[in-house]
Amino acid sequence: MPKKLAAGNWKMNGLRQALDEVRALHDACPDAACDIVICPPATLIRSMVKVCDDMQIEVGGQDCHENSAGAHTGDISAPMLADTGASYVILGHSERRATYGETDALVRAKTLAAWDSGLTAIVCIGETLEQREAGQTLEVVGRQLQESTPDGASPETLVIAYEPVWAIGTGKTPTLEEIGEVHGFIREALVKRFGPEAQDMRIVYGGSMNPKNARDIAGIANVDGGLVGGASLKASDFYHIVKALDG
């Protein structure tokens, strides 16, 4: 079984003072058995890398451009993220797919760019409420998985985040059985595509994960961690999720 991953997606939250939360998280669980990565807004990445220098906490970006440099006002490239000391990048989050029209093909191109810079890509997939209600969940997730990820992925370079769009920031989550069904489906698809080593590829769940439900979710087969939004902002909340993933 792969080592579990507790990933925090701070989205567009956090000023410099928020770095104290990372220090507090480290103080609360200095020797966590799971991997921890925090993806703060771009403005905080470099200072967070410095804060985390002697901690077991990695830092990641929330997006990168598919090109390494050029006339792309406001964008950040994968080499730039790597240059800050970041080691992960979230790609294809549903908020970016919805707000900026990011397609599976673009997410795949960004993943290749991330790999070129040695970053581990956390590629997000997940159905809308409409798609779930229409019984299309596995079809949608299967298509996104196939088209958003390049060939040649390995457990070191790719993490899949299953994030049902309707569960993000809503306090609603699928049932444990529903999460298990989708994660099992993703595992099967990964092994078919990338071979037996995909048994070790991490599939993390995201969407209203919190200190109360984390232990139950962490216990589902093929759930190898969490991608946590709101509950990752405060160390006092995220700590409980890290503990739940610690086993």
Binding positions for ligand 13P, rule: CB under 6 A: 9, 93, 163, 168-169, 206-209, 227-231
Q: How far is the CB of 200 from ligand 13P (least distance, A)?
A: 22
User: Residue 241: which of 24, 36, 60 has the closest Cα?
Assistant: 36
Q: Based on CB atoms, which residue is closest to ligand 13P, 79 or 91?
A: 91
Contact 4, 245 (CB under 8 A): yes
The smaller minimum CB distance to ligand 13P, of residues 30 and 169, is found at 169
130 is catalytic: no
Query: Minimum Å distance from CB 80 to ligand 13P?
Result: 21
- The two three-digit tokens of residue 187, written as one number: 């595992």
Which residue in the list 26, 93, 183, 240 is annotated as catalytic?
93
- Do residues 73 and 33 touch, judged by C-beta distance below 8 A? no
Both tokens assigned to 8:
């925090």
Q: Is residue 163 annotated as a catalytic residue, yes or no?
A: yes
**Which listed residue (66, 163, 183, 240) is catalytic?**
163
- Number of residues that this document lists for the chain: 247
State the nearest-atom distance from the C-beta of 210 to ligand 13P, in Å: 7
* Closer to ligand 13P by Cβ: residue 69 or 129: 129
C-beta of residue 138 within 8 angstroms of C-beta of residue 182: yes
CA angle at 6 for the pair 102 and 152, rounded to the nearest 5°: 55
- DSSP three-state, residue 102: coil
Reduce the secondary structure of 43-69 to three states and give it as a string: HHHHHHHHHCCCCCEEEEECCCECCCC
| Between 97 and 108, CB nearer to ligand 13P | 97
Closest-approach residue to ligand 13P (CB): 229
Q: For residue 81, which amino acid is it? A: L
Q: At closest approach, how far in Å is the CB of 230 from ligand 13P?
A: 4
- Measured N-to-C along each axis, helices 19-28 and 42-51 cross at an angle, to the nearest 10 degrees, of 40
The residues pairing with 59 across neighbouring beta strands, listed in sequence order, are: 38
Question: Residue 129 CB, nearest distance to ligand 13P (Å)?
Answer: 14
CB of 86 or CB of 194, closer to ligand 13P: 86
List active site positions: 93, 163
